[in-house]
Chains A and B, each alone.
Chain A
């Protein structure tokens, strides 16, 4: 479906030295600095996948997604969608692509929502039957029909995002790109958005590629995760696989009746706070039950709990924070 091959993007940045002297110098001899925003990315995405792009601010996520959707021309490398190079065959390929950029609405401020959709219907040359069908379908997920008569400028952010989602799907694209779609949304709007993504993926087999900072989105939606940092691909794979590989351990929290915590040979005592001790153990080496059994022979245990390594921890490790 989507092939990304050796994708690179450089930006030229004019850097100025501080002060008047720097400004003068900049006029005479501009100091160009090349920023390598994306360096040699390659990956393949199959039809019907939901792929999450994560990475810190400035990691190159948005740049990558812009190149994949044909908005930016890569400096090097190429993006193939269904075997067609997006930079070269833009006009045909854009019909198969839908985009939602969290902070920029493509709805028309002065129009009612329905009028914006009608305009898109004409731009994409969709016939009435198809248009009604997709609108009905999306209405069942998002409840959009009650908003059709509302002017866009009077809509709340949540309503506008719903409108934008419908606008991006109105021409039934095969691929949907979402750049930080959940930004600024409340819980119920976020829920609606996630439901929307899951539904269109299930029903229409739409391939979805999204960037997000919301780890909930990732956990809810993505089977596959691509982690980018400094423009370089750090991780690419199944969410649980990545977790297993980067952090193949769990943490056992044991509460005793006094402050003396026993050691254990097959796990590491990493923290102790009063009566509570934390042990880290390798998942494939030993089970929590075995450790608890061993520990309870030495001391009486009041309570135990197991902390799974979450996506938060993974991100901290990958980002090096």
Chain B
């Protein structure tokens, strides 16, 4: 059963390798974001050693790791749904003895595996050479970091997939995809950690799933907070993962039924 999906992943890696220009484009974009953010933080920290319990070195690590995570969190599922709705291939996809959304998930995994070498490694090297080596603050927290990244990845994918399902009613969601992408970067603390935001805003954002995508694993990485705090936040992260999964399966069934009634 799982073998099918593994093969989808393998096929997707082959496909991803075919688009070299995309790969270079993202490296350039991430480099620009990293370097400008580094200058921004250095300027902001001028004359101060600590801002919000974080020193400038940790903040620079945050920037580099945020760029690396953003590659890990690239999703294609929204576009994939839009394309298959537009071209009407959902109907034939549904004819195969495999879950369509499982296929989309496997494809995204395949993409990311291809990107480890094509994107993550180059960005890591560029960041290390041009900014600093992004070392982890407390290596004993590595298991927590890895678990939280996996959960982040799943939450991010579920948000993207739920978003993509809008295409079943709206058909074209190009503009919406852009809005979601930038809103997510802002609300998740991927560019500016939300501890720089006013307390009221922080409270609201902590109630939403987005900070648990970027800020939580990054905080663990740079050592902002204690293991106890991490665990309590990871509990909220896990609750979000469960909630979004439930919503996802519910909406997925509804959407498939809708396609079957209205035709692809």
State the A residues within 8 Å of B (CB).
11, 63, 66, 69-73, 91, 94-95, 97, 99, 101, 104, 106, 108, 110-111, 115, 118-120, 122-125
Contact B14 A115 (CB under 8 A): yes
Contact B11 A71 (CB under 8 A): no
* A99-B11 in contact given A71-B260, A122-B4 (Cβ < 8 Å): no
| Residue among B15, B95, B261, B262 with most chain A CB within 10 A | B95
- Interface 0/1 of B209-224, CB less than 8 Å to A: 0000000000000000
- Residue from B11, B94, B97, B257 within 8 A of A111 (CB atoms): B11
Contact B96 A94 (CB under 8 A): yes
CB distance from B76 to the nearest CB of A (A): 12
CA distance A119 to B98 in the complex (A): 11
CA distance A73 to B257 in the complex (A): 9
Contact A95 B92 (CB under 8 A): no
> Within B59-92, which residues are at the interface with A (CB < 8 Å)?
87-89, 91-92
Subset of 9 A-B contacts with CB under 8 Å: A71-B94, A71-B264, A72-B263, A99-B92, A104-B91, A104-B92, A108-B15, A110-B15, A124-B96
* 9 more CB-based (< 8 A) A-B contacts, given A99-B92, A123-B8: A72-B261, A73-B261, A95-B97, A101-B91, A101-B92, A104-B89, A108-B11, A119-B8, A123-B7
CA distance A69 to B92 in the complex (A): 10
| Residue among B88, B89, B260 with most chain A CB within 10 A | B260
Contact A106 B92 (CB under 8 A): yes
CA distance A72 to B256 in the complex (A): 11
Instruction: Classify the secondary structure of A's interface with B.
Output: mixed
Residues of chain B contacted by A106 (CB below 8 angstroms)? 89, 92-93
CB distance from A85 to the nearest CB of B (A): 14
- Residue from A11, A72, A115, A123 within 8 A of B98 (CB atoms): A123
CA distance A91 to B99 in the complex (A): 10
CA distance A91 to B4 in the complex (A): 15
CA distance A124 to B4 in the complex (A): 8
B18 at the interface (CB under 8 A from A): yes
Residues of chain A contacted by B98 (CB below 8 angstroms)? 123
Instruction: Classify the secondary structure of B's interface with A.
Output: helix
> Within B214-264, which residues are at the interface with A (CB < 8 Å)?
257, 260-264
CA distance A73 to B263 in the complex (A): 8
CB distance from B11 to the nearest CB of A (A): 5
Interface size class of B (residues with CB under 8 A): 20 to 34
Contact B89 A91 (CB under 8 A): no
B140 at the interface (CB under 8 A from A): no
CB distance from B118 to the nearest CB of A (A): 16
Contact B15 A111 (CB under 8 A): yes
B182 at the interface (CB under 8 A from A): no
CA distance A108 to B89 in the complex (A): 11
* A94-B97 in contact given A72-B261, A122-B3, A122-B7 (Cβ < 8 Å): yes
CA distance A108 to B14 in the complex (A): 12
The residue on B at minimum CB distance from A112 is B14
CA distance A94 to B15 in the complex (A): 27
CA distance A11 to B261 in the complex (A): 9
CB distance from B12 to the nearest CB of A (A): 9
Residues of chain B contacted by A120 (CB below 8 angstroms)? 96
CB distance from A174 to the nearest CB of B (A): 14
> Within B159-213, which residues are at the interface with A (CB < 8 Å)?
none
The residue on B at minimum CB distance from A66 is B263
Contact A69 B95 (CB under 8 A): yes
Contact B18 A70 (CB under 8 A): no
Residues of chain A contacted by B95 (CB below 8 angstroms)? 69-71, 94, 97, 99
The residue on A at minimum CB distance from B15 is A110
- Interface 0/1 of B94-106, CB less than 8 Å to A: 1111100000000
CA distance A125 to B91 in the complex (A): 21
Contact A104 B87 (CB under 8 A): yes
* A111-B96 in contact given A71-B260, A104-B89, A123-B4 (Cβ < 8 Å): no
The residue on B at minimum CB distance from A92 is B97
The 10 closest A-B pairs by CB, nearest first: A122-B7, A110-B15, A73-B260, A71-B91, A123-B98, A106-B92, A119-B11, A122-B4, A72-B263, A123-B4
Contact B260 A124 (CB under 8 A): no
Residues of chain A contacted by B18 (CB below 8 angstroms)? 110
CB distance from A166 to the nearest CB of B (A): 15
Residues of chain A contacted by B96 (CB below 8 angstroms)? 94, 120, 123-124
